[in-house]
Structures are given as C-alpha cells and as structure tokens.
C-alpha cells in the first residue's frame, strides 16, 4: 500500500473555534484525512452542529479561561486517551483607531488571540510531551508579519505577531521531545468578518489591489496548509510560519 503522509487515520485532533468559518473547513479537512475531530468551540450551536456533521465530538471551551481549557483537555483525554493534533484557530478582530481603543477591547483581542493560544498549547502540550509526539498548528495571520491598511487593527496585528513568535519559541523548546509547533498565516479569507470589511468600498479596493492574485481566499484554500503541518507530510517542519496570502506579503 502506498504511504500517505497526509493521513491522520487513528489520530485525535482538537480544533478551537472549529465549528464555524475557517475553523469548520479545517475540521472538515482533518476529518477527511481520517482524524477523529474534537470541536472545541464556545458557541454550543455551531460546535454541536459541526461535531454531528463530522462524526466527532463537541466540547464547549472558552479559550480565554485556563480552567475551561484544562477541562476540555481532561474531557478529550478521558474520551479518547490521547491528543495527536491541536489547531489553535479561535480568534477575534476589531477595527478601531488606536487612540480610541478601550482597555477592555485591547484585552479581549489579546485574551482570545494570544492568551488562548498559550493556554491551549500549554495544556495540550503537557499531554503530547508525555507521549513524546504531537503536532500543533497555530492560526496566525499575515497581519502578524506586515501592518495591513487601510483599516486600523493594532491589537489584532500585535496579537498575531505574538502568536508567530510563541510558535517559534515552543518549537525550539519541544522539538527534541517529539512535539512539532508550526503556524499558518492566512491573508484575506472570505468569511463573515471579511465580507463586512469588503462592504466598505475604500477597504475592498485597497485589499484587492494589495493582493497580487486579486481576490480573497476561500476557507477551503487555507485548510490544506493546516493539514500539511498537522500530518507526517511535514515531519521535518517545526517553527515554520506558512504564509498563504495570495502574494500580499510578497511586495
């Protein structure tokens, strides 16, 4: 039989924010590769619906709450005995001029986008390190590499830059212990939030003109990059930030 390095057969994958938009497409890709997918989602409706579609399980999880993350990990280990793949996908964004950003909005973005990734990496990492194997994929953004325009989103950009550096830090710490940690940095994806931005003509014009491919990505164009880094096809890759942005950061 031909070896398929992209197969996730007999593996358990946790996807935060895995019940909607990009997270749902990632969950579908991992499930399609054979993984048992656990949708770790704060929204019980979308989370349960996604789990039912995929034949997986749903665990209500608030990634900003360390106790909730610990409970999620305990539930997954109790049900499946292992976690082979973690995809940290949950995220939020706001577009507020920096001088007008309230403290609570700054903290909200950092709490979900950066603190949540850290909490999940830490708790799932313990289980992976205990087994001596695992793959973590953090969803960062091209916004962690360059400063987007014309929309103001300093908190989002800073949080995603933090995710990229956290990814590299954990990769260096854990490479010798069997756990790989990588990031995927998407460009503009056709999601409800992005569509809201595209409704502002001045934003849409700049976004498309700044992207050499001249269009938004579909969520299903990002999910295969995550599958690659989650699977043995990328067995020698760790600390990588895979940018999938239609060329936005190439000029």
Active site residues: 156
| Angstrom distance (rounded) from CA 27 to CA 21 | 10
Which tokens is 227 given?
Answer: 């599958």
- Closest alpha carbon to 226 in 42, 44, 16: 16
| Angstrom distance (rounded) from CA 144 to CA 98 | 17
- Closest alpha carbon to 114 in 70, 170, 74: 170
Place of tokens 């034949």: 55
Which tokens is 68 given?
Answer: 């909730």
Cβ contacts of residue 94 below 8 Å, gap of 6+?
A: 101, 105, 108, 109, 153, 155, 156
């Amino acid at each position: 039989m031909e070896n398929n390095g992209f197969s996730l057969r007999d593996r358990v994958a946790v996807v935060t924010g895995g019940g909607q938009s990009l997270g749902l497409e990632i969950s579908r890709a991992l499930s399609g590769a054979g993984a048992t997918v656990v949708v770790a989602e704060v929204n019980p409706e979308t989370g349960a619906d996604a789990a039912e579609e995929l034949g997986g399980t749903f665990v209500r999880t608030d990634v900003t709450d360390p106790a909730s993350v610990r409970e999620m990990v305990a539930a997954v280990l109790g049900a499946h005995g292992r976690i082979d793949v973690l995809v940290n996908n949950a995220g939020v964004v706001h577009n507020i001029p920096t001088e007008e950003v309230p403290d609570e909005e700054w903290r909200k973005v950092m709490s979900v986008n950066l603190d949540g990734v850290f909490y999940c990496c830490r708790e799932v990492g313990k289980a992976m390190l205990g087994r001596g194997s695992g793959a973590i994929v953090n969803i960062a953004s091209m916004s962690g590499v360059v400063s987007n325009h014309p929309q103001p989103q300093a908190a989002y950009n800073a949080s995603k830059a933090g995710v990229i550096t956290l990814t590299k830090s954990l990769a260096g710490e854990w490479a010798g212990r069997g756990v790989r940690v990588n990031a995927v940095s998407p460009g503009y994806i056709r999601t409800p939030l992005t569509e809201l931005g595209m409704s502002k003509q001045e934003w849409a014009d700049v976004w498309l003109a700044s992207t050499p491919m001249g269009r938004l990505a579909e969520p299903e164009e990002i999910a295969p990059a995550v599958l690659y880094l989650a699977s043995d096809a990328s067995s020698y890759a760790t600390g990588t930030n895979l940018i999938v942005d239609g060329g936005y950061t190439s000029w």
